[in-house]
């Protein structure tokens, strides 16, 4: 896929470093030599006009093609390397499931320390209340509606991540990063082109979809390494330890070059399979056991980064793909003071713990109240690597939030609407403090407002979405309805990559 990139800088120069790519330099050199050859040819052989024209056309085409791929990247700051990036991504973890976010019995000392040493977001959103759509949003920076596939993929789903999508891993790889994914992929398995290695990752080990998609309803689940099957129906109690060990080995191996590690844990998505060292330890039961094991894993990664002297040059971000699976009762988690959970566009379905850690760059103990999302991680991480999102006409919805990580006020980020996509449709929008629901749904089957729509909430004064203000603030309803209509029209006009084939 031809990528035309633009040289987009992070607003903050402190966070902006990059290198010249050898491939671009060699491409420009080929174009220059080709053009010189054509010019020489024109003067030497005046009789073969036909061939001269062919050379001229091909030379110009190669110059335009290669030249257009070249971009002027920011200069590498003296003595500063490209930052490493690690994304720790749990599955179905609720906003209230870490002790740092108020859980009374689940102990997460490592994640709590990560928050104490870094920045804790209190308005951080996943891209969707469901697994596949959320991972699509994280890795492409685009709202799930743009994917063209259903919101949860199954082992036999035919329409998965489109080859023309340009993932965060592809972008970072282009910037010279070593890239690895250890864990749940869930963006397609029925064609090789859907798998991680064909989407920018140098290494992959993991279950390619949810850990409950098992026989007899589904085929045997594969633990994969690269494009191959390592084992069928593996012992899930080993998974968190395995992913952690592989991530640590990858970091050690690539410590002298920039790396991107994406670690999407299999759990606390049910079934819950804590490792032997964690089983039966948490007062919160098996759910607490697996969360405490994920906390241990995060601690292992952070300690390694410190031990290797990489902590000052590594951004680690911890969050989850969607809210707690509350219909599983005690096997599901808690959204804390937020309403509902997984599958729903109530806050509990999409607002997540969000912890950013980068000692020396992110101020210790910072609390970030501004809304941000996993879509923003895409654009921000690319910017940190000196890359811009694709500039070929596709929409990228994520924003560069480098300024937020630095604790700076960026007024340009304040008024962006954020759209909540529920099962197959747009259900709500947030702008500033205000959230408007035009559709609500819940896996519990509950309708909390007896069918009344639209519903308007002020999330700053009412994070639990208890007090509908739609009658009191028709002006705000109108403003947010206009945002929805404008967004829907633009999305429909652009379509997905699937729609153009």
For Mg ion, give the closer residue by CB, 118 or 341.
341
Contact between 240 and Mg ion per CB under 5 A: no
Task: Using DSSP bridges, classify how beta strands 314-320 and 84-90 pair: parallel, antiparallel or unpaired.
Answer: parallel
What is the arrangement of strands in the sheet containing 455-458, beginning at the earlier edge strand?
A: 418-422, 425-431, 434-437, 455-458
Residue number, 192 or 424, with CB nearest to Mg ion? 424
Among residues 244 and 322, whose Cβ is nearest to Mg ion?
A: 322
Interface with Mg ion by CB under 5 A: which range of 106-114, 126-134, 211-219, 375-383? 126-134
With CB under 5 A as the contact rule, the residue among 100, 131, 305, 476 that binds Mg ion is 131
CA–CA dist 214, 211 (Å, integer): 7
CB of 374 to Mg ion, least distance (A): 12
Cβ proximity to Mg ion, 344 vs 403, nearer residue: 344
Per CB under 5 A, contacts with Mg ion among 36-75 are: none
- The stretch near Mg ion (CB under 5 A) out of 2-10, 260-268, 320-328, 482-490 is 320-328
- Which of 387, 480, 385, 468 minimizes the C-alpha distance to 429? 480
Q: How far is the CB of 338 from Mg ion (least distance, A)?
A: 16
| CB closest to Mg ion, residue no | 131
**Which residues are identified as catalytic?**
131, 186
Residue selected from 311, 321, 376, 465 as contacting Mg ion according to rule CB under 5 A: 321
In the complex, the smallest distance separating the C-beta of residue 102 from Mg ion, rounded to whole angstroms, is 21
| Rg (the chain; Cα; Å) | 24
Q: How far is the CB of 117 from Mg ion (least distance, A)?
A: 27
Toward Mg ion, which CB reaches closer, 311 or 321? 321
| Residue 131 or 455 having the CB closest to Mg ion | 131
Please report how many Cα atoms fall inside a 13 Å half-sphere around the Cα of residue 156, on the Cβ side.
Answer: 5
User: Smallest distance, Å, CB 130 to Mg ion?
Assistant: 7
Question: Which residue in 204, 102, 217 sits closest to 156, CA to CA?
Answer: 217
Q: If you search the block for the tokens 């206009």, which residue do you land on?
A: 482
3-state secondary structure 168-226: HHHHHHHCCCEEEEECCCCCCCCCHHHCHHHHCCCEEEECCCCCCCCCCCCCCCEEEEC
Q: Which is nearer to Mg ion, 34 or 442 (CB)?
A: 442
Residues near 77 by beta carbon (within 8 Å), at least 6 away in sequence: 16, 17
Give the H/E segment covering residue 351: strand 351-357
In the complex with Mg ion, the residue whose CB is nearer, 272 or 382, is 272
As a three-state string, the secondary structure of 310-345 is CHHHEEEEEEECCCCCHHHHHHCCCCCCCCCCCCCC
CB 192 → Mg ion: shortest distance, Å?
24
User: Minimum Å distance from CB 250 to Mg ion?
Assistant: 24
Q: What is the 3-state secondary structure (H, E, C) of 430-446?
A: EECCEEEECCCCCCCCC
**CA distance linking residue 501 with residue 101, whole number of Å:** 45
The Cα 468–Cα 49 span in angstroms is: 76
Q: Which is nearer to Mg ion, 92 or 468 (CB)?
A: 92
Look at residue 368 and give its three-state secondary structure. Answer: strand
Binding segment toward Mg ion, per CB under 5 A, in 30-38, 131-139, 286-294, 305-313: 131-139
Q: How far is the CB of 188 from Mg ion (least distance, A)?
A: 16
Alpha carbon separation from 324 to 96, 187, 269, 320, 353 (Å, rounded): 9, 20, 8, 10, 12
Task: Kindly determine how many residues on this chain lie close enough to bind Mg ion according to the rule CB under 5 A.
Answer: 5
CA separation for the pair 229, 115 (Å, rounded): 37
Q: How far apart are CA 405 and CA 68, in angstroms?
A: 32
323-356 CB burial, b ≥16 within 10 A, e <16: bbbbebeebbbbbbebbbbbbbbbbbbbbbbbbb
* Least distance CB 151 / Mg ion (angstroms): 11
Per-position x/- string for 70-99, each x denoting binding to Mg ion as judged by CB under 5 A, each - no binding = ---------------------xx-------
Among 10, 297, 322, 368, binds Mg ion (CB under 5 A): 322
Output the six-digit token pair for 177: 């990063």
Which positions lie near Mg ion, rule CB under 5 A? 91-92, 131, 321-322
């Amino acid at each position: 896929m031809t990528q035309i990139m633009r040289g987009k800088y992070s607003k903050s120069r402190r966070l902006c470093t990059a290198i010249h790519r050898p491939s671009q330099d060699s491409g420009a050199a080929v174009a220059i030599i080709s053009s010189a050859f054509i010019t020489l040819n024109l003067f030497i052989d005046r009789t073969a006009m036909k061939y001269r024209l062919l050379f001229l056309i091909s030379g110009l085409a190669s110059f335009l093609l290669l030249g257009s791929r070249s971009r002027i990247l920011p200069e590498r700051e003296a003595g500063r390397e490209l930052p490493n990036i690690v994304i720790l991504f749990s599955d179905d973890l609720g906003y209230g499931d870490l002790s740092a976010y108020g859980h009374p019995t689940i102990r997460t000392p490592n994640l709590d320390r990560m928050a104490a040493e870094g920045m804790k977001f209190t308005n951080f959103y996943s891209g969707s209340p469901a697994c596949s759509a959320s991972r699509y949003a994280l890795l492409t920076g685009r709202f799930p509606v743009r994917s063209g596939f259903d919101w949860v993929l199954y082992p036999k789903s035919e329409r998965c991540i489109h080859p023309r999508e340009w993932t965060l891993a592809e972008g970072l790889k282009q910037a010279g990063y070593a890239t690895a994914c250890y864990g749940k992929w869930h963006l397609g398995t029925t064609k090789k082109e859907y798998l991680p290695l064909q989407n920018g990752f140098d290494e992959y080990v993991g279950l390619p979809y949810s850990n409950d998609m098992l026989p007899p309803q589904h085929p045997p689940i594969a633990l994969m390494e690269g494009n191959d099957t390592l084992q069928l129906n593996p012992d899930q109690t080993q998974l968190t330890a395995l992913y952690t060990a592989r991530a640590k080995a990858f970091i050690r191996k690539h410590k002298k070059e920039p790396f991107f590690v994406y670690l999407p844990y299999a759990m606390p998505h049910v079934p819950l399979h804590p490792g032997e060292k964690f089983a039966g330890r948490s007062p919160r039961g098996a759910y607490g056991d697996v969360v405490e094991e994920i906390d241990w894993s995060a601690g292992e990664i952070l300690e390694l980064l410190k031990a290797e002297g990489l902590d000052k040059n590594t951004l680690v971000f911890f969050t989850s793909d969607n809210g707690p699976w509350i219909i599983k009762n005690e096997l599901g988690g808690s959204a804390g003071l937020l309403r509902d959970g997984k599958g729903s566009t109530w806050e509990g379905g999409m607002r997540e713990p969000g912890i950013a850690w980068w000692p020396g760059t992110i101020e210790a103990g910072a609390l970030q109240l501004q809304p941000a999302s996993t879509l923003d991680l895409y654009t921000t991480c690319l910017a940190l690597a000196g890359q811009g999102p694709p500039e070929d006409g596709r929409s990228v919805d994520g924003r560069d939030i480098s300024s937020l990580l630095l604790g700076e006020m960026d007024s340009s980020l304040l008024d962006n609407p954020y759209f909540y996509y529920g099962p197959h449709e747009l259900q709500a929008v947030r702008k500033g403090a205000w959230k408007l629901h035009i559709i609500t749904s819940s896996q519990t089957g509950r309708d909390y407002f007896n069918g009344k729509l639209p519903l308007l909430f002020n999330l700053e004064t009412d994070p639990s979405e208890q007090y509908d203000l739609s009658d009191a603030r028709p002006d705000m309803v109108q403003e947010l309805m206009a945002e929805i209509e404008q967004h829907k029209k633009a999305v429909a006009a652009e379509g997905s990559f699937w729609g153009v084939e």
